């Protein structure tokens, strides 16, 4: 069942056209990551769904209720939309306890005291905050504050929850743990979640689908695998992974394969865009697809090693291709000097 549909949404703030026809949908039990660089319009899209920004055209439907429609001038206020919202900064009230922070919205809605107590205690318990109800926000760690912000959104039992960078204030280790429990929690509650992030690894780990925004336009949407393995544009290819980038000219295209020729090298790759013969193009190769080889062969290059970096679980190698750095991974440190590397043709995407 579709819980949220956004169709062709346009939003202008001041004189800036921020969202330029964005569309997405969200099903029950599904987590969709809204991914994109800073300033691409992620927060604007989330706030528009919540009813905190005023679009100029398009349509927003939550469950079976149209909450915004530009053509028929429907615009439901925030509280009627009944969404959970976790802001980019948690926006906890500093002078209220954890319990009061979570209870506040229910009080405003004139929920009976006994029901407030049981619902707040239930959600605090679910999020591992059962013992912290009497504390104030400044007496909590970043991770605990983040859970309070989430508890405050979940206490209404919304069908759709909107999360704006919910993990961005946590340090790297806590973040990795939090994305696991947050995903489990959303699945357990069987609600739909739209989660903004600008971290592609987090988007892939947490979500069932990813919607990638650039300059207010959705560049591509799909499962994490689709986004990572079959990017439709150079922007998506670059955004979704750690990459090597090669500039050259396209020669001898046959079907969807071509040679990319650069300064002293020629590599076979997959044509991801239409190119004329001798046209300039850029190729992207995921860092993990560059492999060490034992000698010359197709799509192999002999390159000087610039440096090896020890990363704990792997070594990262940096090679030099006439001024362009090429990076790869391997299990052992490499001695200085020249080494053969291979870039499989299927892993060289020519845009």
Ligand X SMILES: Nc1ncnc2c1ncn2[C@@H]1O[C@H](COP(=O)(O)OP(=O)(O)OP(=O)(O)O)[C@@H](O)[C@H]1O
Chain contacts with ligand X (rule: CB under 6 A): 13-14, 16, 18, 36, 38-44, 198
Q: Which does 14 bind (CB under 5 to 8 A by kind): Mg ion, ligand X, none?
A: ligand X
Q: Which residue, 170 or 237, has its beta carbon nearer to Mg ion?
A: 170
- The CB-of-136 to ligand X minimum distance in angstroms stands at 27
Residue 44 or residue 101: which is nearer to ligand X going by CB? 44
182: left (phi over 0), alpha (psi -120 to 50) or beta: alpha
State both tokens at 316: 């990262």
Question: Which residue's Cβ lies closest to Mg ion?
Answer: 43
Residue 345 Cβ, how far from ligand X at the closest point, in Å? 36
Q: Which does 220 bind (CB under 5 to 8 A by kind): ligand X, Mg ion, none?
A: none
Place of tokens 């900064």: 89
Rounded to the nearest whole angstrom, what is the least distance from the CB of residue 97 to ligand X in the complex?
29
Cα-Cα-Cα-Cα dihedral sign, residues 239, 225, 347, 277: negative
Tell me which residues touch Mg ion (CB under 5 A): 43
**200 vs 244, beta carbon nearer ligand X:** 200
Nearest-5° Cα angle at 328, 324 to 330:
150
CB of 22 to ligand X, least distance (A): 11
Among Mg ion, ligand X, none, the one that 198 touches (CB under a kind-dependent 5 to 8 A) is ligand X
**Three-state secondary-structure class, residue 77:** coil
Interacting partner of 94 out of Mg ion, ligand X, none (Cβ under 5 to 8 A depending on kind): none
Sequence-ordered list of residues with C-beta below 8 angstroms from that of 128, at least 6 positions apart, any chain: 147
- When CB distances are held under 5 to 8 angstroms depending on the partner's kind, the choice from ligand X, Mg ion, none that residue 322 binds is none
Q: Give me the least distance between CB of 2 and ligand X, in Å please.
A: 24
Strands (E), 189-294: 192-197, 209-214, 217-222, 243-254, 257-262, 265-271, 280-286, 291-292
Distance (Å, rounded) from C-alpha 69 to C-alpha 61?
9
CB of 258 to ligand X, least distance (A): 35
- Closer residue to Mg ion in complex, CB, 166/328: 166
Between residues 44 and 159, which has the closer beta carbon with respect to ligand X?
Answer: 44
C-alpha distances out from residue 294 to 1, 29, 245, 277, 300, Å: 53, 48, 23, 32, 10
Residue 101 touches which of ligand X, Mg ion, none (Cβ within 5-8 Å per kind): none
- State the Cα angle at 189 between 188 and 195, rounded to 5°: 95
CB closer to Mg ion out of 34 and 240: 34
Q: Decide if 158 contacts 82 (C-beta within 8 A).
A: yes
Structure-block tokens of residue 323: 């001024």
């Amino acid at each position: 069942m579709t819980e949220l549909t956004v169709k062709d949404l346009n939003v202008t703030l001041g004189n800036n056209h921020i969202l330029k026809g964005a569309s997405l949908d969200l099903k029950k039990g599904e987590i969709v990551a809204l991914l994109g660089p800073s300033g691409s319009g992620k927060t604007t899209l989330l706030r528009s769904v919540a009813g905190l920004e005023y679009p100029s055209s398009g349509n927003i439907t939550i469950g079976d209720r149209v909450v915004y429609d530009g053509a028929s001038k429907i615009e439901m206020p925030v509280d009627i939309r009944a969404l959970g919202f976790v802001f980019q900064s948690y926006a906890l009230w500093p002078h209220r306890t954890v319990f009061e922070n979570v209870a506040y919205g229910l009080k405003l809605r004139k929920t009976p005291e006994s029901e407030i107590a049981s619902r707040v205690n239930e959600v605090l318990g679910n999020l591992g905050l059962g013992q912290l109800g009497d504390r104030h926000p400044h007496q909590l760690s970043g991770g605990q504050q983040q859970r309070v912000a989430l508890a405050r959104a979940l206490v209404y039992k919304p069908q759709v929850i909107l999360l704006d960078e919910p993990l961005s204030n946590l340090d790297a280790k806590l973040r990795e743990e939090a994305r696991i429990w947050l995903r489990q929690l959303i699945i357990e509650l069987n609600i739909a979640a739209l989660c903004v992030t600008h971290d592609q690894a987090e988007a892939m780990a947490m979500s069932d689908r990813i919607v990638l925004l650039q300059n207010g336009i959705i560049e591509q949407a799909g499962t994490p695998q689709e986004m990572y393995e079959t990017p439709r544009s150079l922007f998506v290819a670059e955004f979704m992974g750690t990459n090597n980038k090669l500039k050259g000219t396209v020669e001898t295209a046959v079907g969807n394969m071509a040679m990319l020729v650069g300064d002293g090298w020629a590599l076979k790759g997959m044509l991801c865009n239409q190119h004329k013969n001798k046209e300039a193009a850029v190729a992207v190769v995921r860092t993990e697809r560059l492999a060490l080889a034992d000698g010359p062969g197709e799509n192999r290059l002999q390159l000087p090693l610039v440096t090896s970096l020890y990363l704990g679980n792997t070594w990262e190698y940096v090679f030099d291709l006439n001024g362009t750095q090429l990076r790869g991974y391997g299990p052992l440190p490499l001695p200085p000097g020249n080494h053969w590397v291979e870039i499989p043709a299927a892993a060289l995407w020519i845009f």
